[in-house]
A and B are shown apart, each in its own frame.
Chain A
């Protein structure tokens, strides 16, 4: 009964999404208040029914209803309860339902928090969100029904993919999808603006908090995914430039450019056409990512099981949504009035420079991700484009952007002059350069990339400090938006420092260890105390004991495991990590080597790796602060006045 209820709720949600899309858009077109007023209740009701469907699927997983194909394929009666719940979004179908739930949630959030938007604007935004929902719910019902029954029911499930049985995976997909899908709001605002011809500073102000919120979630989602890969794949890597990772990274880069460009559009009414195009691009890249991950056109470590019908459907949807929106842009762009002027070294100009660099970096990632596909499609063979390529082209493109990140917030809007900034920053710049190189020399081996990383991190951190001093001296208060921006920038500095160290100074060894034997790595002594069996709820494991000491003092006892999951027969390497602020010591079991209990063991020393996660966390906190700034919570009347002003002024 429960699965049928879920399916029914999903069908109702589809109908409601159709209503949410059609009536308000028609109402806005004909200026019919009654039709427009349908938008909010329809969005809320759609969210309610999708939520019902999601709960139904979750219940099916919790009660082990193996008559549901999706449950039988992705769960197992002996799977711990928490993972049974998270298995709800562990498959293609379930994760799509989660995606739709998030989309409906954002739609409902817009309906609730958009009271101060003009009715026509709100109707258009909610209507466009409804259109996107229609596409995804239809996709699910037609090609990927999560509630499909199988008769007779399976006696036992196939188990959740062991790779996903980790608590990083519990929160990674919801965060990631909140981010991906959140950009649909920015997209909807852009479409609404194009439809109405109202592209002004008020529009930028409305869509800005939504965009920053989506970016915040995406940041968290990406970093959680990276953290999961680091611990779960068992070989200490945290970013592989895999197509699936790039699929999430590309909207992030575009979204980062977008929040900066929106700032300039809101404050100064400049870059309107560019900002709209970026808003369209960011969500388009989210959709492209969905296509790449779910259609099987690229081979990736973590792609879903694939099916050509699904690929064809998403591609069709992609063509309609992206093609349609870009055509709308091309049609309406001439109506966009250019904003005010600014000098070559104003904040506007620097934001623009940051934007074009980010987009160039995005272009490089896109090119590398799709190049193998293009070569194959042209019948020219098979090639691989991997980390060496991406590192080689991405770093030089992003380094200048990071450098400008230090200067931008210190430059004045409109009339900034190079001479002012140069006069202030030339000695600090020299000091940063000197200390960056000194730091790199102080470490055991000089690496130029590490020196560059240190310089950039110090540079950003210094200028963040300077911005605070300026503010406090000027007697101004410190609004959340300011804290948010500076914290996010500082987080980037911390992250860059982490990347510089971990990329240049990580060390690892594959060693053969007999019980009682020991090995050295980066000043640590690892002593193997043998491995013994351990029974898990749904796996058998060999659990090793490795004592870690430094200069004779005990540091930690680690227990890496090699697991074989009962239902799927899959083997998994469960690494054991001892973290602290400056480094991780990381041990993974390889294979048993002989009958005397010797194992091959992988030892890793990862200095500063935790700075990476910390930096990303600071960026997300910064995003949260900026998205909840007081300005965005002003009363309806004040923002109307602001809108009126902006309309006149621009």
Chain B
């Protein structure tokens, strides 16, 4: 299934190659496009960004984004345009809302737990006194002795 899908993506890319939008000449628009598209997901070929994907749909979406950037839309407006059509699924950076609180705050909690664990185990543990010279000597002998 996966391979079929990929093949279809590529077939589509080939089928529409002639209609492809040639490179936009405005480097400022391109820079913003790349910045935006890096954080957006190509819907067709599963886990690839819109910036990297060569799928036809990704190219169309890049073209749409270019048009919107040229029309003076803000990043926010461009992203809203896409989520209105494709849902939050296109966002590689999930928005911070109740559904993703755990996602965004989880790592912070992990850091807190890590610090607490370390503090409990390490910071409050006094070193035990050195073993007596006798025991050290025993240990040495045991190590030396190859035929116990």
What residues of chain A lie closer than 8 Å to B17, measured between beta carbons? 591-592
Most chain B CB within a 10 A radius of its CB, from A384, A397, A564: A384
* Bound CA–CA A271/B91 (angstroms): 41
| Contact A569 B7, CB 8 Å, known A242-B47, A591-B17 | yes
Is A442 on the interface with B (CB-CB < 8 A)? no
B91 in contact with A384 (CB, 8 Å): yes
Interface-side segment among A49-57, A208-216, A295-303: A295-303
Q: In whole Å, how far is B38's beta carbon from the nearest beta carbon of chain A?
A: 7
**Which of chain B's residues 37-83 have a Cβ closer than 8 Å to chain A?**
38-39, 41, 45-49, 51-52, 54
A510 contacts B47, CB within 8 Å?
A: no
Known: A384-B89, A645-B139. A342 touches B122 (CB 8 A): yes
Q: Does B143 contact A (CB under 8 A)?
A: yes
Size band of the B side of the interface? 35 or more
Query: A564 to nearest B CB, angstroms?
Result: 8
Majority DSSP secondary structure for residues of B touching A:
helix
Does A340 count as interface, using CB distance less than 8 angstroms? yes
Partner of A511, one of B23, B45, B54, B110: B23
Q: Specify which of B23, B27, B104 lies most central, judged by the most chain A CB atoms within 10 Å of its CB.
A: B23
A571 touches B22 (CB 8 A): no
Q: Which label, helix, strand, loop or mixed, suits the secondary structure of the A interface?
A: mixed
Residues of A in contact with B, size category: 35 or more
Which of chain B's residues have a CB closer than 8 A to the CB of A341? 125-128
In the assembled complex, how far is the CB of residue A637 from the closest CB belonging to chain B, in whole angstroms? 4
A387 CB contacts on chain B under 8 angstroms: 38-39, 49, 92
In the complex, what residues of A have CB within 8 A of residue B147's CB?
Answer: 637
| Nearest Cβ on chain B to A40's Cβ, whole angstroms | 24
Chain A residues whose CB sits within 8 angstroms of the CB of B46 once the complex forms: 299-301
Alpha-carbon distance A183/B124, docked complex (angstroms): 33
Pair A305/B148 contact, Cβ less than 8 Å: no
Given the known A-B contacts A389-B94, A645-B139, are A356 and B22 also in contact in the complex, defined by CB atoms under 8 Å?
A: no
Chain A residues with CB under 8 A of B6: 570
Residues of A within 8 A of B1 (CB): 305-306
Listed by A's residue number, 17 A-B pairs whose Cβ atoms lie within 8 Å are A235-B51, A237-B52, A305-B3, A344-B122, A360-B110, A367-B107, A382-B87, A386-B49, A387-B49, A397-B110, A508-B34, A568-B7, A569-B7, A569-B11, A638-B143, A641-B143, A645-B139
- List 8 A-B pairs, minimum CB-CB distance, nearest first: A386-B92, A388-B93, A356-B114, A349-B122, A360-B110, A364-B107, A393-B107, A360-B114
Tell me the A residues contacting B by CB distance below 8 Å: 161, 233-235, 237, 240, 242-243, 299-301, 303-306, 340-344, 346, 348-349, 352-353, 356-357, 359-361, 363-364, 367-368, 371, 375, 380-389, 392-393, 396-397, 414-415, 508-512, 564, 568-571, 573, 590-593, 598, 600, 635, 637-638, 640-642, 644-645, 649
